[in-house]
Amino acid sequence: MIQKSMHPRYYIHLWAIVATFLGLSTTHAFDLSVKPTGSLTLEGWSLFDGGVDTGESSLALLHLGSDFSFGEKTHAHVGAFLFSGDNNVDSFTGDFGVYSNVITDSRYILFTAWLQSDFQDSSFRWGQLAVDKSFFVSEVGSLFINGNFGAIATVSANVAAPVFSVGSAGAEYRYNGQQGYFQFGAYAGNSGPGDRDDHGFNWEAGGEAGYLFILERGLDYQLNASQSGTIKIGGYYHTGRFESFETNRSSTGLSSLYGVIDQKLSGSLSFFVRAGFNPVSERSVATRYVDIGMAWQPLFGKTRPQDLMGIAYAHTRFSNSYVESENLVSNSRSEQVLEITQSIQLNEEWMMQPSLQWIINPINATEDALVGGLRLFRKF
């Protein structure tokens, strides 16, 4: 028997149904555009003094993805990581915050995959998401390489939130007003172990894993023509169960508050500050966190406006319950980082960024660590 192929009009009708479900206008249903994305990060590090042991470390991270546009109102994105290199921090610097923000235990993993619908003043995004892509972000602080300047420790250290490099199922809503924005996110409570066997699908929700809810309000302000800024205030509540470091009993719920300020001081100088606070110390690893820093264009900034230089400091305060219950090498209740770095645009394709970091009281080392590295980055 010869099987007849479907008439093209059936495919058109099927696509119209899908377009309607996605919130697309059928008159624009075929306005599909696909833009492949990718970036390559190569790093070499040397431990000059202290830490666990002197030596070198090399890393490589390949980020591959694609952006999709279904007309003007609906967008999608898929992104995955491939990592190679030495990720054993405890045998190198021994720090809690991690000296490089590309280090991950996952060798290859689906990071994010989402669909977004845009409305007049708002947007709704759902799929596999990462909370640190949208919340508690400092644009100025994103210059720095140390992992502390990514996800705030009172979030990443206390709950299994979906942060680099492990995402989880979730949804985000954002409303954009005249002077700022309001956004809300809800995610699976446990993003997964993020180890070699986790390829992005081991997240858990409900029950003991619970759910993560986060809320953030951002306000834009203008001091004068050259001094603009943004202040962000937010907090999260996690509904999962957490074990006390003091009694080994588990209780439901954990919450935290945070704030972010990005301030432009002039056309070439900006500074940032972020702070996080977690009031429940016996179930928290990190109870307080603060980072502060500034970035500026070097003296030759007029001819190379894309180059930036910066200095930043981060302080993580651990709970007494955590320190006393764990066999940490360091007896300190806090870990601090001072980083100096500069991003240099070599050409249209490659960027170079040296980084020098002084890690004070790394939790798994007996001495402060002085580490330097060089990053090569290409976006394509």
Quick: pLDDT tens for 167-189.
999 999 999 998 899 999 999 99
- Evaluate if residue 195 carries a pLDDT over 90: no
Residue 161: predicted pLDDT: 93
- Evaluate if residue 163 carries a pLDDT over 90: yes
Residue 191: predicted pLDDT: 94
Residue 152: predicted pLDDT: 95
Predicted confidence band at 329 (pLDDT cuts at 50, 70, 90)?
A: confident
pTM of the full predicted structure? 0.88
Give the model confidence (pLDDT) of 85-105 as tens digits.
988 898 899 999 999 999 998
Predicted confidence band at 30 (pLDDT cuts at 50, 70, 90)?
A: low
Give the model confidence (pLDDT) of 251-290 as tens digits.
999 999 999 999 999 888 999 999 999 988 889 999 999 9
Mean pLDDT of the chain: 89
3-state SS string over the chain? CCCCCCCHHHHHHHHHHHHHHHCCCHHHCCCEEEEEEEEEEEEEEEEEEECCCCEEEEEEEEEEEEEEEECCCEEEEEEEEEEEECCCHHHCCCCCCCCCCCCCCCCEEEEEEEEEEECCCEEEEEEEECHHHCCCCCCCHHHCCCHHHCCCHHHHCCCCCCCCCCCEEEEEEEEECCCEEEEEEEEECECCCCCCCCCCCCCECECCCEEEEEEEEEEEEEEECCEEEEEEEEEEEEEEEEECCCCCCEEEEEEEEEEEEEEECCCCEEEEEEEEECCCHHHCCEEEEEEEEEEECCCCCCCCCCCEEEEEEEEEEECHHHHHHCCCCCCCCEEEEEEEEEEEECCCCEEEEEEEEEEECCCCCCCCEEEEEEEEEEEC
Q: What is the mean pLDDT of residues 339-365?
A: 95
Give the model confidence (pLDDT) of 109-135 as tens digits.
999 999 999 999 999 999 999 999 999
Q: What is the mean pLDDT of residues 185-194?
A: 94
Residue 301: predicted pLDDT: 54
Residue 248: predicted pLDDT: 80
Class in CATH terms, 39-379? mainly beta
In the chain, domain spans: 39-379
- Evaluate if residue 316 carries a pLDDT over 90: yes
Residue 197: predicted pLDDT: 82
